[in-house]
Amino acid sequence: MTQLVTYTINEGIATITMDDGKSNVASPDFLEQLNHALDAAEKANAVVILTGRAEVFCAGFDLRVLRTGVNNAFKMLMGGFWLTHRMMSYPRPVIVACNGHAIALGAFILLCGDYRVGVRGDYKIVANEIQNGLTMPHCALALCEYRLNPSHVHRAMLLSEVFNPDEAVGAGFIDQVVEPDELMSVAQELATGYLGLNDLAHVESKLRMRKRFLHKLKRAIKADRRGFILQGVKRMLAGKRKK
């Protein structure tokens, strides 16, 4: 299997880097490796820095997988949705270091960080599902309603508005914007500071604060699952009628 995600750990800080050598699209293998990295970080009780490759954080799902069959598409989509739930409930702080473009799932992953640092530049942060003719998933709507500033939710979700990094701070996708050469040093400094937090108090407070949301997110993911299954059945029946 091609290495798409790398994991390193140093003094309690796990750095997870997504890099497929191209656009950083989330294929089933990509998501599996990302989950394995989170497994290792959680086992080590590590603070996480999640980052991407130069100029691309994550460009969303790998749309080529949708043409390889229902099973692969289903695995990929549900894997991405459950990843957001896992990140929102990860027991230690999660810092997202956004190198550049964050599109569709990439934008939703941004929303799952406890602290999000972006870089200045001509980069897009956008949930472009509607622009591409796709109905917004239930779990994406739940995430955006929970993390985005109220004045930007409809613009981001219903109008596919494109935000540059500075605008993304106002929208709520990012907490801070820095120069590209400062990104990882700032993320490292934040992670080092978060090592001083009390582990138990952090996770208990996180789960207490997000209890209702995590329950809502889980229901939303299950609703998306039912919707995909129903859509698959409809397509299957339509194919039989054509025969």
Q: pLDDT, tens digit, for every residue of 184-207?
A: 999 999 999 999 999 999 999 999
pLDDT at position 240 over 70: no
- How many independent structural domains does the chain possess? 1
- Domain assignment present for 229: no
Residue pair 139/217 in contact (Cβ under 8 Å)? The answer is yes
pLDDT at position 243 over 80: no
Higher pLDDT, 198 or 73: 198
Average pLDDT value over all residues in the chain: 93
- Domain assignment present for 236: no
Q: Quick one: average pLDDT of 168-184?
A: 98
- Domain assignment present for 221: no
Q: Structural domain of residue 70, as residue ranges?
A: 5-194
pLDDT at position 241 over 80: no
pLDDT at position 45 over 70: yes
pLDDT band at 235 (very low <50, low <70, confident <90, very high): low
Q: Which residues contact 36 (CB under 8 A, 6 or more apart)?
A: 5, 7
Q: Which residues contact 62 (CB under 8 A, 6 or more apart)?
A: 25, 26, 27, 30, 76
pLDDT at position 234 over 70: no
Number of neighbours of residue 61 by Cβ within 10 angstroms: 23
pLDDT at 236: 43
Which has the closest alpha carbon to 108: 50, 39, 38?
50
- Domain assignment present for 187: yes
- Domain assignment present for 23: yes
Most confident among 62-66, 161-165, 224-228 (mean pLDDT) = 161-165
What does the alpha-carbon distance between residue 119 and residue 174 come to, in Å, rounded to a whole number? 10
pLDDT at position 215 over 80: yes
pLDDT at 237: 41
- Domain assignment present for 53: yes
pLDDT at 173: 98
CATH number where 143 lies: 3.90.226.10
Of 44-48, 61-65, 160-164, least confident by mean pLDDT is 61-65
Locate all alpha helices (DSSP H) within the chain, ordered by sequence.
Answer: 28-43, 70-88, 105-111, 138-147, 150-158, 165-171, 183-194, 199-209, 211-242
Higher pLDDT, 239 or 31: 31
Q: Quick one: average pLDDT of 181-186?
A: 98
pLDDT band at 67 (very low <50, low <70, confident <90, very high): confident
pLDDT at 205: 98
Give the total residue count for the chain: 243
- Domain assignment present for 238: no
- Domain assignment present for 160: yes
Residue pair 103/129 in contact (Cβ under 8 Å)? The answer is no
pLDDT at position 232 over 70: no
pTM (2 d.p.) = 0.92
pLDDT at position 238 over 90: no
pLDDT at 20: 95
DSSP state of 61: B
What does the alpha-carbon distance between residue 94 and residue 115 come to, in Å, rounded to a whole number? 7
